[in-house]
């Protein structure tokens, strides 16, 4: 199989690092014109430079905008009216006991993790329908179907993404546009590295910290290791391509078998 996105424009939110960066890289290697997004102009510019160097693509650009706000989303779509592939990757997470999460944190998690993607899909998906082709991808998590006790507020937003994605897929049925969620498992990003250090201890060498974390907090993993960002990025590139044309309205697991269930 050859993933070829020549002539397609792809926007990846939250792509200055982590899974978003890996997805942008995979899409650029498939010859898409990739737009990197993040809040910080310097970090976005650095990501663009890095991706151009790593992929050899001259079609990587960036837009700094906070799409977790209505104003930021409007700014982005004003600069980028149309895309063929929308990857809603922006997200935040953190461990807080559920009865200690205040109202404002529930709202903030929903705005960043869910509403950011809704705003962009609401703008771009109807335009994709008008052209008869498009891909909307929400980057959810295995936490959507196996709620982590230490991050219930996060898991709630990931479940909401699946519901929104399915509903949008139903709305665009038969148009050539697909809408799906990708469910990564615990992935080795800088944010997860910090999360594990907080959970296991900062004095523990990371290789050992990873082993302990997987053994004690993610024991159902069949990989028995953290997923690498490029593994998720490659999967997103497939979902973004013509090769995935029969897949829509789906919650697609790339979780290393962490979710102990047959069907998400």
User: Over the stretch 180-195, which tens digit does the pLDDT of each residue have?
Assistant: 999 999 999 999 999 9
β partners of residue 38: 64
Give the residue-averaged pLDDT of 38-57.
Answer: 98
User: Over the stretch 68-119, which tens digit does the pLDDT of each residue have?
Assistant: 999 999 999 999 999 999 999 999 999 999 999 999 999 999 999 999 999 9
For the chain, the average pLDDT equals: 97
pLDDT at residue 214 above 80? yes
Q: What is the pLDDT of residue 262?
A: 86
- 94-101 contact pairs (CB < 8 A, 24+): 94/151, 94/154, 94/195, 95/150, 95/151, 95/195, 95/198, 95/199, 96/150, 96/151, 96/153, 97/150, 98/149, 98/152, 98/153, 101/152, 101/153
Give the residue-averaged pLDDT of 154-164.
Answer: 98
Sheet containing 9-12: give its strands across: 60-64, 33-38, 9-12, 85-88, 134-139, 177-184, 251-254
Left (φ > 0), alpha (ψ -120 to 50) or beta: where does 201 sit?
left
Tokens of 14: 């939250």
Residue 183 · residue 144 · CB < 8 Å: yes
Q: What is the pLDDT of residue 40?
A: 97
| Rounded-to-integer distance, Cα 210 and Cα 189, Å | 12
Q: Exposed, middle or buried, 126 (CB in 10 Å: 0-12/13-18/19+)?
A: middle
Known catalytic membership, residue 124: no
pTM (global) more than 0.85: yes
Tokens of 203: 């004095």
Sorting pLDDT into bands at 50, 70 and 90, what band is 210? Answer: very high
| Rounded-to-integer distance, Cα 28 and Cα 7, Å | 11
Phi, psi dihedral angles at 86 (to 5 degrees): -115, 120
pLDDT at residue 55 above 90? yes
pLDDT at residue 164 above 80? yes
Tokens of 158: 């990931």
Report the first-to-last Cα separation within the chain, whole angstroms.
Answer: 26
Q: What is the pLDDT of residue 170?
A: 98
User: Over the stretch 10-29, which tens digit does the pLDDT of each residue have?
Assistant: 999 999 999 999 999 999 99
**CB neighbour list of residue 108: distance below 8 Å, 6 or more residues apart:** 92
pLDDT at residue 264 above 80? no
| Rounded-to-integer distance, Cα 238 and Cα 258, Å | 21
User: Domains, the chain, ranges and CATH?
Assistant: 9-183+229-254 (3.40.50.720), 188-226 (no CATH)
pLDDT at residue 176 above 80? yes
From 21, 109, 124, 154, the catalytic residue: 154
Q: What is the pLDDT of residue 74?
A: 98
Locate the DSSP E strands across the chain. 9-12, 33-38, 60-64, 85-88, 134-139, 177-184, 251-254
User: Over the stretch 219-241, which tens digit does the pLDDT of each residue have?
Assistant: 999 999 999 999 999 999 999 99
């Amino acid at each position: 199989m050859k993933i070829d996105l020549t002539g397609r424009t792809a926007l990846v939110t939250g792509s200055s690092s982590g899974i978003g960066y890996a997805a942008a890289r995979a899409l650029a290697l498939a010859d898409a014109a990739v737009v990197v997004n993040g809040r910080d102009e310097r970090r976005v510019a650095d990501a663009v430079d890095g991706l151009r160097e790593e992929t050899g693509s001259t079609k990587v650009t960036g837009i700094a905008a906070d799409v977790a706000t209505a104003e930021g989303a409007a700014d982005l779509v004003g600069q980028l009216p149309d895309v063929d592939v929308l990857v809603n990757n922006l997200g935040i997470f953190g461990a807080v006991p559920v009865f200690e999460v205040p109202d404002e944190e529930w709202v903030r998690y929903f705005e960043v993790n869910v509403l950011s993607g809704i705003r962009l899909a609401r703008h771009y998906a109807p335009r994709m329908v008008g052209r008869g082709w498009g891909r909307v991808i929400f980057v959810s998590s295995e936490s959507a179907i196996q709620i982590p006790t230490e991050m219930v507020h996060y898991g709630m937003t990931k479940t909401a993404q699946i519901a929104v994605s399915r509903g949008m897929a139903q709305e665009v049925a038969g148009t050539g546009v697909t809408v799906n969620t990708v469910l990564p498992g615990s992935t080795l990003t800088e944010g997860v590295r910090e999360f594990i250090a907080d959970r296991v201890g900062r004095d523990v060498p990371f290789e050992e910290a990873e082993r302990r974390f997987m053994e004690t907090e993610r024991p159902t993993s069949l990989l028995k290791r953290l997923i690498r960002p490029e593994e998720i990025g490659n999967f997103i590139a497939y979902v973004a391509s013509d090769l995935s044309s029969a897949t829509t309205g789906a919650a697609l697991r790339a979780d290393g078998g962490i979710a102990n269930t047959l069907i998400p």
